[in-house]
C-alpha cells in the first residue's frame, strides 16, 4: 500500500473501538479470537459430556449448570443492540470474547441447556462464572472492538494470532529539500510517502539497496547530510547523487525522487521506458559515461522485479490469504501485492482448537490481522468466510477507502490464491516435521540426562564483555516448537561493584534478576517478563543450561539455593579441548561428568542451544558497543590522533564505512601505517570474552 503521512484517513471506527477497549474493566488474562456458532453440535458431543467436563477440570453436570446460570443472569440485563461480551472464569480470566448484532439473543443461545453445542463451547460454559458486556453503536464497531480485545486479552477459547510483528515499510521523506530513503517500522508520523508493507526487513533492505543504485537517492541522516563538506563513499560507488555537496542540483535530484516514487507507485514500465530513452539519447550523443549510468540504473530496476517472483498483471493492490489445516494445526500464508509487484509473503500458525473449521479460523484471523495494519483495496481468500460483508465494511471504515473481500473462483486472482495455498501446505508440513523432530529430541534429552520429564521450557544463559566493558547477559528459550524468540531477554549488567571480567558475578546478577521476577513478579513488569504469548507455554523453566564447567555449575547452585529454587534442573556445558565441538563435557549436580558420543543427536541439540545463546549475547554486546563507539566517534582508539582521524573520515566518508573496512583498505589511507591499521581494525572487531 502506498500512502502519505501523517494524514491517515478512516481511523475513527478503529480509534473508537480501541477507546472502548481501554475504558473496559481491565482483566488479567492471556490468549486471541473467534465467535462460536450458536448451534452445530452432534450426539457424540452430548454423549461425551462427562469426559468433556472432566478434561476441563470439572466433574459431573453441576459446573455446566452453574455456567448456564451465570449466562442466564447476564441475559436478563443484556441489551438487544450490538455489542461485545466477555466470559470470565472464577479467577477473573477472560475465557472468550465474542461480538453480536443482538447481544441478548446471542447469550440466550448459550443459556439454552437443551441446545446441542460443540465440545469446546460446553467446556467454556462450564468454566464461566460471570459475563461482561460492552455496548456499541453498530455491529461494525463491535467487530473492531472484538478484534482489539482478543489481541489485548488473548482468551483461551478464541483463535490466537500468535506472531503479530509489525511489518516494515519504505519511507521517502518529505520534510527535507533532499528526501531520504529508509526502512521504517511503527507509527507513520513522519512526513513523507510510505510504501509497503513488505514481508520482511531483508526484503526492504534489498529493495532499498537496488533503489539507491537505480535512483541515487541518499540514505544518510539529516544531521550527517548537513555536516558534509565532500561526497561520501556512497557517491563514489554510484549509490547516491551527492546532493549534500551539490553534486546534483535541486531540479535534478527532484527528478530522481519523482522517478523512485513513480516506480514504487506502480509506474515501473513508464520509468524504465524513460530511462531507456535517456540511455539511447546519451549513447547517440557519444556521452558513453552517462549512457553507462542509465544502463546500470535499468539493471538495478530489473533486479528488483526479478527478485519479486510473481508479479500479477491484473492485481494492483491486494493481500492474499490461504489457510491449510493438518494434524490439528493451521497455517495461514499471506502474500502482499502492491503496485502490481510482489512484496513478499509470511506464514502464520494461529492457535485454535481442532474443532475450528478453516473458515472460522480464517475469519477470526483477518479481524485480528488488520487491527493495527492498513488494509489494501482487495483481500483475496482461499475460503469463503461468514460475515464477509461485515468485515469488508469494517475494514473500509478503518482504511478510509472501499475494501473488497472475496474468495475468487477463476482467473489470475484464483491462481494467486492457489499459489498461496500451496505455500501454506508446504509451510505447515515443515512446521509439523520440525515439531516432531523437536519432541523426539526433548524425549531423548530427558532420557540421557535422567530428567523427571521431557522439558517444555529450556533456558540457556551466557555473558559477553571485553575486559569487563559493555557487559551484557542474555537468556534464550527453547521448547517443543523450537526456539521461542519472543521470550529471549538481554540483561545489561548494572552492578557497580563487579570486578571487570568477573563472569560469576555477572551470571549471579542475571539469574537473580530473572528469577526474582518469577518469584515476586512486579505488577507492571509481570506482563513483560513472565507472561508468554502462548498460554500453554510455561514461564518456569524445567532446565537451565549455562556455559562453563563444574565451577560455574556450583556457583549457579549456590545462587539458586539462596533464592530457594529447588524445582529447576541445572546443567553446564564445558567446551572440549581446543574448544572443539563434539567433545563437550556436561555437568549436573551430584552426578559424574557426562561425555556423549560426537554424533549423538542430544549432544548436537545441546550444541545448538549453546550456540544460539552465544549468538544472541554476542549480538546484544556488539549493539551496545557500537552505540558507545558511535557516541565516542574515533576518540577512543589509542594512537590515532586528530590528523589520522581526519584522514580516515575523508577517505571513507562515514564511521560506518571505517568499521566495515578491512586491514588492507585501512592501510591505504595516507598517514595510516600497517600497525595503525591493525589497531583500528581490532578496535572495531574485538573478540568478546
CATH at residue 652: 1.10.150.20
Quick one: pLDDT at residue 328? 79
DSSP codes, 532-552: -SSTTS-SS-SEEEEES-HHH
The answer to whether residue 184 scores a pLDDT higher than 70 is yes
Give a yes or no: residue 146 inside a domain.
yes
Query: What pLDDT score was predicted for residue 57?
Result: 42
Same domain for 93 and 55? yes
CB 507 within 8 A of CB 463: yes
Residue 519 sits in the same domain as residue 551? yes
Are residue 203 and residue 185 in the same domain, yes or no?
yes
Question: Is residue 359 included in any domain, yes or no?
Answer: no
Q: Are 80 and 101 in contact (CB under 8 A)?
A: no
**Cα–Cα distance, 651 to 678 (Å, whole number):** 17
Residues 6+ apart with CB under 8 A from 536: 351
For residues 515 and 571, membership in a common domain is answered with yes
Mark whether 48 and 177 lie in a shared domain. no
Position 41 scores a pLDDT of: 36
Domain co-membership, 72 together with 47: yes
677 and 591 in a common domain: no
pLDDT in tens, 34-70: 333 333 333 333 333 344 344 444 434 567 888 888 8
Domain count, the chain: 4
Is position 658 within any domain? yes
Asked, for residue 402, whether it belongs to a domain, the answer is: no
Burial of 136 from C-beta contacts in 10 A (0-12 / 13-18 / 19+): buried
CA–CA dist 261, 254 (Å, integer)? 10
Which domain does 130 fall in, by range? 2-153
The answer on 481 and 516 residing in a single domain is yes
Residue found by looking up cell 481511523 in the block: 11
pLDDT for position 640: 72
Task: Please state, for a pLDDT cut of 90, what percent of the chain lies above it.
Answer: 11
**485 lies in the same domain as 558:** yes
Range with the largest mean pLDDT of 10-14, 180-184, 293-297, 581-585: 180-184
The model carries a pTM of: 0.62
Instruction: Give a yes or no: residue 657 inside a domain.
Output: yes
Last residue of one domain, picked from the residues 278, 307, 336 = 307
Query: Domain for residue 437, yes or no?
Result: no
Instruction: Give the residue from 577, 596, 624 where a domain finishes.
Output: 624
**Do 600 and 658 share a domain, yes or no?**
no
- Name the average pLDDT for the chain: 77
Residue 359 · residue 374 · CB < 8 Å: no
Asked if 147 and 259 sit in the same domain, the reply is: no
CATH code for the domain of 101: 3.40.1440.10
Do both 261 and 293 map to the same domain?
yes
Q: Quick check: 29 and 127 in contact, CB under 8 A?
A: no
Question: Residue 543's domain is classified under what CATH number?
Answer: 3.30.420.340
pLDDT in tens, 451-510: 988 999 999 988 775 544 567 788 899 988 888 888 888 887 766 665 655 677 778 888
Q: Is residue 397 part of a domain?
A: no
Q: Is residue 594 part of a domain?
A: yes
Amino acid at each position: 500500500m502506498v500512502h502519505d503521512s501523517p494524514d491517515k484517513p478512516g481511523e475513527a471506527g478503529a480509534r473508537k473501538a480501541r477507546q472502548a477497549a481501554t475504558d473496559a474493566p481491565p482483566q488479567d488474562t492471556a490468549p486471541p479470537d473467534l465467535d462460536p456458532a450458536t448451534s452445530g453440535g452432534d450426539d457424540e458431543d452430548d454423549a461425551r459430556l462427562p469426559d468433556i467436563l472432566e478434561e476441563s477440570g470439572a466433574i459431573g453436570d453441576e459446573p455446566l449448570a452453574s455456567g448456564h446460570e451465570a449466562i442466564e443472569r447476564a441475559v436478563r440485563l443484556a441489551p438487544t443492540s450490538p455489542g461485545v461480551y466477555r466470559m470470565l472464569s472464577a479467577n477473573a480470566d477472560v475465557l472468550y470474547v465474542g461480538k453480536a448484532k443482538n447481544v441478548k439473543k446471542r447469550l440466550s443461545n448459550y443459556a439454552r441447556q437443551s441446545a446441542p453445542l460443540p465440545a469446546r463451547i460446553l467446556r467454556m460454559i462450564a468454566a464461566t462464572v460471570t459475563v461482561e458486556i460492552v455496548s456499541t453503536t453498530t455491529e461494525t464497531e463491535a467487530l473492531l472492538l472484538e478484534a482489539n480485545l482478543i489481541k489485548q486479552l488473548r482468551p483461551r477459547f478464541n483463535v490466537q494470532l500468535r506472531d503479530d510483528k509489525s511489518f516494515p515499510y519504505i519511507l521517502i521523506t518529505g520534510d527535507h529539500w533532499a528526501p531520504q530513503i529508509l526502512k521504517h517500522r511503527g507509527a507513520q508520523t513522519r512526513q513523507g510517502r510510505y510504501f509497503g508493507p513488505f514481508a520482511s526487513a531483508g526484503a526492504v533492505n534489498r529493495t532499498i539497496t537496488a533503489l539507491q543504485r537505480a535512483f541515487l537517492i541518499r540514505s544518510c541522516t539529516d544531521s550527517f547530510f548537513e555536516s558534509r563538506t565532500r561526497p561520501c563513499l556512497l557517491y563514489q560507488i554510484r549509490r547516491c547523487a551527492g546532493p549534500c555537496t551539490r553534486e546534483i542540483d535541486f531540479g535534478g535530484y527532484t527528478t530522481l525522487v519523482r522517478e523512485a516514487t513513480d516506480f514504487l507507485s506502480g509506474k515501473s514500465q513508464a520509468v524504465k521506458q524513460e530511462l531507456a530513452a535517456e540511455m539511447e539519447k546519451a549513447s547517440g550523443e557519444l556521452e558513453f559515461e552517462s549512457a553507462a549510468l542509465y544502463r546500470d540504473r535499468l539493471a538495478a530496476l530489473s533486479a528488483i522485479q526479478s527478485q519479486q517472483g510473481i508479479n500479477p498483471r491484473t492485481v494492483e493492490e491486494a493481500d492474499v490469504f490461504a489457510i491449510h489445516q493438518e494434524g490439528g494445526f493451521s497455517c495461514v500464508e499471506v502474500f502482499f501485492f502492491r503496485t502490481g509487484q510482489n512484496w513478499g509473503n509470511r506464514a502464520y500458525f494461529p492457535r485454535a482448537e481442532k474443532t475450528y473449521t478453516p473458515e472460522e479460523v480464517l475469519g477470526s484471523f483477518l479481524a485480528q490481522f488488520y487491527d493495527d495494519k492498513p488494509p489494501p483495496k482487495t483481500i483475496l481468500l482461499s475460503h469463503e468466510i461468514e460475515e464477509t460483508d461485515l468485515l469488508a465494511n469494517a475494514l473500509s471504515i478503518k482504511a478510509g477507502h472501499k475494501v473488497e473481500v472475496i474468495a475468487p473462483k477463476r482467473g489470475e486472482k484464483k491462481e494467486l490464491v492457489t499459489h498461496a495455498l500451496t505455500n501454506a501446505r508446504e509451510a505447515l508440513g515443515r512446521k509439523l516435521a520440525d515439531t516432531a523432530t523437536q519432541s523426539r529430541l526433548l524425549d531423548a534429552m530427558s532420557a540421557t540426562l535422567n530428567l523427571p520429564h521431557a522439558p517444555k521450557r529450556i533456558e540457556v544463559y551466557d555473558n559477553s564483555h571485553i575486559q569487563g566493558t559493555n557487559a551484557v547477559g542474555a537468556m534464550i528459550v527453547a521448547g517443543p516448537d523450537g526456539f521461542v524468540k519472543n521470550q529471549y531477554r538481554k540483561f545489561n549488567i548494572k552492578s557497580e561493584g563487579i570486578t571487570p571480567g568477573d563472569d560469576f558475578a555477572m551470571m549471579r546478577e542475571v539469574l537473580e534478576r530473572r528469577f526474582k521476577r518469577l518469584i515476586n513478579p512486579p505488577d507492571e513488569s509481570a506482563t513483560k517478563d513472565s507472561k508468554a504469548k502462548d498460554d500453554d507455554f510455561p514461564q518456569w523453566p524445567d532446565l537451565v543450561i549455562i556455559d562453563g564447567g563444574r565451577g560455574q555449575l556450583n556457583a549457579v547452585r549456590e545462587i539458586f539455593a539462596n533464592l530457594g529454587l529447588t524445582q529447576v534442573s541445572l546443567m553446564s556445558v564445558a567446551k572440549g579441548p581446543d574448544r572443539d565441538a563434539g567433545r563437550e563435557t556436561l555437568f549436573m549436580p551430584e552426578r559424574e561428568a557426562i561425555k556423549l558420543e560426537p554424533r549423538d543427536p542430544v549432544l548436537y541439540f545441546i550444541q545448538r542451544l549453546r550456540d544460539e545463546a552465544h549468538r544472541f549475547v554476542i549480538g546484544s554486546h556488539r549493539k551496545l558497543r557500537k552505540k558507545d563507539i558511535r557516541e565516542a566517534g574515533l576518540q577512543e582508539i589509542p594512537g590515532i590522533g586528530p590528523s589520522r582521524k581526519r584522514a580516515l573520515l575523508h577517505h571513507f566518508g562515514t564511521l560506518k564505512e571505517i568499521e566495515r573496512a578491512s586491514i588492507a583498505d585501512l592501510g591505504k589511507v595516507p598517514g595510516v601505517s600497517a600497525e595503525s591499521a591493525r589497531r583500528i581494525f581490532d578496535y572495531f572487531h574485538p573478540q568478546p570474552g
